[in-house]
Every structure is written in structure tokens, then in C-alpha cells.
Structure 1
């Protein structure tokens, strides 16, 4: 007998899902019975719901990497009511901040208990939906089985419409368990609406770029999410504009391209380079705290901001604001913008900028940190994605990671701990080939239970844990601010022994052996752990105005 849960699974299949991330619960039994009966829809579990949602986020990012500009790969995550649902909130905040298309589906208490107070059901909240309203893009509550296909279609379209983001659907327990009166669902399709730019704004942008003597482009995460890397390169070469990328925009422009100013946005030389542009074209960025060098950025020329999130237009700086999908806007600009003759000035300016950055970093005795990051980068096979926690080496990667052939994903959108391992597990479920996770020992403890998930599903993830004995970046912040740190030193397990207890191969490495051991682990199918005991420091974010 088909039940409401089958309508959910059938609709997801019709919409294009082939993998769901799920953790069972009492009210969600109808969903998991339907998943059992649909082997075509792969189910990947986890041990904790926040890690489950991080894994769905990593899966969606890996799919976006694999087909930039193609159909938007919405990834479903299925959890139970109340505590299970609420544990996904921090992860969904990251997906929202980083514009990742995740479809959250939760069970609910029986229909009779929805709204109007407490009825004594297990896991009941007065208004579960309200907890998600300000975290996700849209929320949808189903009250009858006939609403399931359209609710899921609307949610899917919301997640896949620029700016991408997580959405939330709630379905009561009794609806999921009741016999399905609808015929099998096979024809549901979602059609996200394109967000095209206004032609007159594109014409004005082309005019400004054509008249500029020193145009510069800042590429944000919107370039990566829209798959506009090719269009960005074509425009930069057309108008001879240097390109710097935000931390979320890493991978939007070739790292070693002669016009690439890379992504040292916490360096004052980079901040001033952007501020000196007479026309600064900002693509898919809100010019927020990290991108603006903690709001010290003061543009002296004209700013043009192309952004799919209308709320971010001119939210930090006056600009010619263009509410549009970055890829569609760049495509239009390539038709309208005049060509500029290559005279070598832009390339020389970029080389001078990067030389200043190198000299500043080189004067801070940070050879160990740069070597460790270089060894990790050299160990990765071509095309291997990496997923980074909020850890000292991860902060280095924001600025210094060479993304050519090595896509990088971090939790810098919302800044929560614990993203590295589950994000990489999701990516491994989406692709053939390995994924790398990088955590500190503090962040590693958030996801240690997912070693069981890695082993159970045989996911090809190598997890590098840099063990410095505590919350290293917070130790630096507190010492810098107050002269000493507090509550940053941590008791921790023998990570290698703990991994082996899950049946996951593990080894303790050194800086000298790291590249070879990490490369070997990545080349061996299945999960593995490499532990590097090392005390790393951040570079000083020196500013010329200090």
C-alpha cells in the first residue's frame, strides 16, 4: 500500500533527486519506509542532524562544481520533528549565507496538533516553522497528502532560484503514514525563474567600463554559484581589468592568470588596490565584513554592484546596483562592453600588488604555515575538492589557497565549527574520486561521530586534523586583545587511535612526511585520517593606516 511518504519520494525522484541525506525519527517513519521501497533514491545517513545537513550542503556544492551553469542540483535532507529538526539550523545558516541549494524536509506532529498551542505530542514545538523562517529562503507546511507534490515543487524552485539557498518543508506524521489517494507521481518539474538584468543598466555599466582608466573587478561567491567563471574571464580580458576574489568567490578566476590579484582581502594592499579603482565592478558580493577588510574599505571611484540578493544591493556602499544573476549580467555585458587594447598596465599593477603582499607576509616568520599549506595543496590529485573548518590553516586557505584544479569550500559564510568532515562526506557521495576535509582539533570534535558514517558508507574522504591543543584561532584573538587566552585549551583524544576504532585507517604525520602521507591516503579508496600535531600562527592583518 502506498502512503504519504511515497508521494514525497516519488516527487523528489520526478524533480531530479538521486541522493537524499536522512536520519530517522518517530514522526518520520513514513518517509523512511518510502525510501526503503525506492532503491533508485540513494540514502546517506549521519549520526547527528547538523552534520547531516552539512553533508547535504557539501553534496550540493560538489554537484555545482561538476556542472557550473547547468541545472541547479538541489540536495534533499530529511529529519524528524523538534530536536532533530532544530539541530539542522546552524548548518542551514551556512547554506543560506553561502547560497547553497538544500531542500530540508521534516516531519511534524499529527495534523490535529499543528498551531494553537501544546498538545503533548513528543517533540512538539509551539511553532516549529517559526524557528526556520529567518534562517532559510522559504518555508512550506503540508496539511494534506494532495499538497505534497506542489509544496515540494515550490520549495525546489525556491532553492534553485538565484540567489540559491536552503528551504524548509514540514509534513505531519499522519499525512506521511496515511494511504495515498493520489496516483504515482512521475511528472513534477521545477522551473526556477531567471533573473535577467535591466538592459539600460547593462548599457550604463558598459559605458562606465569603457571610460574607466583603472577598472578593477571583485568576484564574489555569486560568480561561483552561477557558474560564470568563463564569462568573467572573457570580460576581464576584454576590458583589461584585474580581478580579485572574495573568500567565497575563490575559484571564480584562474589563480595564476596575469590579471589575477588573487584573494588576499585581509591585506591592506589589496584593500587599497580595490579602493583606487576609478570603476570597481563587484560581482555577486555584498561587500560584507570579510570582503571589506572588516569594513575599512573606502572606495574612491564609482562602484557597480551586480547581485542576485536584492537586500545586499548598496547595503554597505553606494553603487550602481543591478539586481540580476551574475552569469546573465556578464553575458549581456560581453555584448555591450567595448574592448580595451592590451598595454600591460593591468598586468604590471597586479604583479606589483602581489609582490607587496609577498613581502609583507615574508617579513613575519611564517615559513612553517606557508609550507604546511603548500604541502597539503601539492598532495591533492587534480580536481579534488577540499572542505575546511574554521581553523588556523583554514583561515590561511581563504587567502592563499591556489584553486586552479582544486575547488575549495569553507564555512566562512556563517562561520560555524564542524563543517569540514561532513561537508567532505557529502561531496564524496556526489562524485567519483576523493575529497579532503581539514579541521583543527577543536572543530574535529564536532564531527568525530561521522567517522562511523564514513566507514559505514565507504565514503572516499581523507580527513586532515591539525592538532594544536585547543581553539587555535581564538587563542590568538584573545592573546592579541587581552594579553592572554582563556577557555581555549582542550583535552582531546588520540585521534589516530579513535579513528582506528571505527575501522578507519589513520596515522600521525609530521611536516616533513605530510605531503607523501596525505597523497597516499587520498590515493587509497575509502575513509582515512591523517593527524598533524603543529602549532600554526595566522599572519598579522597589518593595515597601512595603523
Structure 2
């Protein structure tokens, strides 16, 4: 069979290093999927495009590789945008190849075509960092190569290439492309590193916020060295969860939604912010008011100084930390910073003790006890995840949550993508996904995906009968919750109809149930009917 535009897409992606493609077939995209049959790429078939985007996101997070997502035109493309918003907010590299209507219909030249959407690329521009439409088969390989380079160039993120149906089906004689690509991290300006070093070494009290940029840069070891050289307590944002060891004497863990921790950050002479925008959650809902200087380092120049006056340094967090380390003294004492971190965590503990949250804390402890130290976990926007942002010690496993954009339904499809990606790399593939009953309904169709691909995902569903966190917000704000209660299925019985083992257990039995599920093969589900409450905020006296 003659090669066509779809073959060029697939061949170029293969040459760039892709091995797995996520997506759902559609009429205008059939040329892409037909070309997959002539390639060595494996395909993961989701059931909803939004979940396919989440699955690609989870693949990239778990493996550190670029993910590839194939979408059809119009409704298929639009349905994926909410999932891509999470990847865009969190800096996850995904190359999206979307089909388009035939060239004759573009620009309104022919009306009434199926799936026709005016300015489809403009819609994608809200949640992708780069977009291009290809109008000729000879432009496919360069466009895909450019897209891949953009996806991995800091700040990383999803990119969008759309190819009209007739271009995908167009016969071509263009040879297969073998593009070479080298991604280079963003290096900091030396004079800015020197100024940061001057401020930090001249400060009596330094504190550090470690965001997702530290994890994406693989700069965990460099962060430890700098924190110890400065004697600086370190708080991790939800996206930076695991960037600094939980039990390190300088660790403030991830209690960024606590006024005791917020006060430590505020009272620092210099606050060093690494790979974080100091957004809503990390700034304790914009209550953070630094009294000293703020040095903010991020590969995305758009976030520098966006929420505070800062010395902004555009750089990869790892490159900055390594450059900074050479300018710092090695004999600065850590005792004051360690004492401050210990005192602050004790204050956090006392605050929780005073709120009678024994059930919630025991529940999270039981989950932590069941999960192997090196297992990757994926968390939806649910009360259990809100707790986990602050209290989950990720140890040697990666912690992934949908807090970037905050949409529901992230955990399960992302875990499927992550597990399959780990399998491709020959790594331990069992992962844990945690969701509430509300967010689980966004992802329930992906039980079919998990079964079809035998994904080693244990799905923990915490069933509290509704949108639990919204229930709490409304009760706090209005005295009563409205329209937060949900009719839902028997999740265990429903999973069984997909051929997936499932159990429903009491909260006190979750540890044993998870141990059994995590030791099994293939997909399985653990359902726990229970009501979890959030910890209340603190308001310190002036």
C-alpha cells in the first residue's frame, strides 16, 4: 500500500522516540489510525477524549518521556481540552496530533461538514503552549519535529499539531524522517545567580519553597545541598511534593495550607522560591505576605513576579541550584533552621490534635502503611487528596495529583497511562489511584480501558455520597450544602461487570484490602464508604 500523510506522522513520531500513542479514533483521523497498523507504536484506547489526555499526562509524569495523543476533529478535540489544561498548568510534555476537516472546508469555504469547528486551533491555544496547522504532506515531518522540540523546551507542556483529513490520506513519496533533537535546560544569567547568592548569604533567616519545577528538573539532590548550606527550612508545594525528603531536619513537609508554615515563609529575610508560581494553594490562598526579599526561579518567565515583587530568574531549577551551590559557604550552621522546622511541625501537629481529626489521620496512615515505599500514586481532586498534599510522605515513589488546573477525573486515567508507560520501560508497573465517588464517575468508563490493556492499577474510591469538599465549602459559607449529594452505583459491583476484581471495605480495613490489591495482577478496585473532613485553617494572632 502506498504511504500517505498518516504514515509520515507515525514515522516521524517513531524517529523522535515515541513508543506509545493515546487517543480515540474518529472519522477525520482514520488515516492516523490506519498508519498505526503499519508501525511498531502501541496504542492505548481510552473511552473519553478527556480521559485520553489524562492518560497521556500520567504516562509522561510516570516515565519522564514525551506522551503522544491522537484526537479527532471537533467534539473529540474539544472534549480533550480539559485534560490538556491540567498538563498545561503542570508543565507536562504531550504532543497532540489532531485531525481537521478537509482543506476545502477550512476558512468557511464549505459549510455543514461533519465535526466542522471554526478556529479549532484557537480553542486549543488556551491549553497548549504551541500550535500549528499543516496544509501539505511535505510539511508534516518538520511540524511534528518542531512540536516535539517545543513540548520539551522549558517550560515543558502540551503542543498541538492539526492535520486535515485529506492531507492524512494524501499519497506521499517523502522519505521517512529521522530528526535529531537535543533539549537543553534553561541556564540562569550568571549575574542574577551572583545577586541571589549575595542576598541569601547575607540573610539571617532563609526559607525555601520547592515547587514542581524542582521535580521536573530532577534537582532533588541539588536542593538538599543548597538547603543545608543555607540552613533553610524547606516547604514543598503540592506540585513539588517529594522534592525534599519528608524526614529531613529542615523539612516543613508540605503543610503550605497552614498559617504556622506560612508565617515561617513570611518572616524569612529572603524567601527562595524554586519552580513555583506561589499560586493559590502554595500561598495559603493568597494570604502569604513576605516581609523580606523574594528570589523566584522558574523556567516559565510568565510566572516570575506574577504574585509578588521578586528578583526573578528565568532558569531550570536544577541549573540554578548547581550554579548557586558553588557560591555558597559550606560552614553555615543548620541548628536554627532545624529548630524552626521542628517547632513549626509541632505547632501543626498541635493544631490537628485540637480539631479531633483522628479518623482522617488514621485513614491516611493506613493507606500509607499499605503502599510500598517506591510506588507511584495518582490523586484526584478529593478530600483524601487534599489531605495527602499536606501529610503524605511520598518516600521513594512519585506523587502525582490534578491540582494544576483542579479538574475532576484525573487520577484513574492518569494512573492507567502511568502504569502502561512503566510497563513499557520494564519498571514495576503497579500504581495506586485515589478518587472520591464524585470524581470516580468522571472516569468510570476507563474501567474498560484498564481491563482491555490489563493495566496494573489499584483504584481506591472513597465514597462519601457526594462532592465532599464542595459540601464542606458550602456549609462553611452558607450554613448548608445544596446539590452536592449524588446518586451513585455500587462501584464494586459495577467494576465486576468489566471483569475487574473489587471489594467494599470499612475504613479500618483499608490497609489489609490495599495490601491484597497491590499484591495482585491486573486492575482492581477497593471501595471505602466513609466521610472525611478537611482540617480547618488557622488564624494566628497578630
Greater Cα shift, 191-200 or 460-469: 191-200
Q: In structure 2, what is the Cα distance between the partners aligned to 1:337 and 1:142?
A: 50
Contact 1:206 1:338 in 2 (8 A): no
How far did residue 118 of structure 1 move? 5.1
Superposed counterparts of 1:258-297, under 5 Å = 258-297=249-288
Equivalent residue for 2:46? Answer: 46
Superposed counterparts of 1:23-422, under 5 Å = 23-38=24-39, 40-64=40-64, 73-116=65-108, 119-185=111-177, 187-422=178-413
Contact 2:255 2:261 in 1 (8 A): yes
* TM-score where L is the length of structure 1: 0.97
Structure 2: any 5+ residue segments left out of the alignment?
423-427
Q: In structure 2, what is the Cα distance between the partners aligned to 1:5 and 1:191?
A: 25
How far did residue 251 of structure 1 move? 1.0
Contact 2:232 2:334 in 1 (8 A): no
- Alignment of 1:433 with 2:425, yes or no, is no
Structure 1: any 5+ residue segments left out of the alignment?
65-72
Equivalent residue for 2:425? Answer: none
What's the Cα RMSD here? 1.1
Equivalent residue for 2:3? Answer: 2
C-alpha distance 118-445 of structure 1, shift in aligned 2 (>3 A): farther
Contact 2:228 2:334 in 1 (8 A): no
Q: In structure 2, what is the Cα distance between the partners aligned to 1:340 and 1:474?
A: 49
How far did residue 8 of structure 1 move? 0.5
How far did residue 338 of structure 1 move? 2.2
Contact 1:390 1:412 in 2 (8 A): yes
How far did residue 117 of structure 1 move? 5.4
* TM-score where L is the length of structure 2: 0.97
Equivalent residue for 1:516? Answer: 512
Equivalent residue for 1:489? Answer: 485
Equivalent residue for 1:471? Answer: 467
Describe the superposition over 1:401-441 as per-residue Cα deviations: whole angstroms up to 9, x where unpaired: 11112321111100000011001001111113201111100
Equivalent residue for 1:69? Answer: none
Q: Which SS does the other structure have where 1:529 is aligned?
A: strand
Total equivalences in the alignment: 536
How far did residue 545 of structure 1 move? 5.0
Greater Cα shift, 332-341 or 162-171: 332-341
Q: Which SS does the other structure have where 2:355 is aligned?
A: coil
Describe the superposition over 1:11-67 as per-residue Cα deviations: whole angstroms up to 9, x where unpaired: 0011011111021000011100111111x2111110000000000000000012xxx
C-alpha distance 118-469 of structure 1, shift in aligned 2 (>3 A): farther
